Amino acid sequence: MPNDLAARCGIYCGDCDYREKMNCPGCSAATGKMFWGKCEVALCCMDKGLDHCGLCPDFPCDTLRGFADDAEQGDDGQRIRNARAWTTIGFTAWLEQKNEAEGQ
């Protein structure tokens, strides 16, 4: 990924409370072995040689949907929307739009 704050699943790690609390380096640097366990989504992307799920021909797959819809850690599909935007406009443009919308 062009930015270590972009997780392969579409999560923007810059918004994640666990990043600092758990000293999480992000899934790319952690090679899918996260502080909470093995991330099947990250491992799948790495196996396919993809920077993120949005680049996969099977996007969004059942594995990603299950992760995004998880009752405890899900985000109502935000990570899927993010990965889609990263594919269509690029991460840098997406981040600029996000920051602009948030007044940063």
Q: What is the pLDDT along the chain (104 residues), one digit of tens a residue?
A: 447 788 999 988 888 888 888 888 887 788 888 888 888 999 999 999 999 999 999 999 999 998 888 777 778 889 999 999 999 999 999 999 999 998 87
Going from N- to C-terminal start, the domains of the chain cover 13-101
Residue 3: its pLDDT value, please? 74
Residue 53 confidence (pLDDT): 95
The pTM of the full predicted model, rounded to 2 decimals, is 0.85
**Is-contact 45 51, C-beta < 8 A?**
yes
State the residue for tokens 């997406």: 94
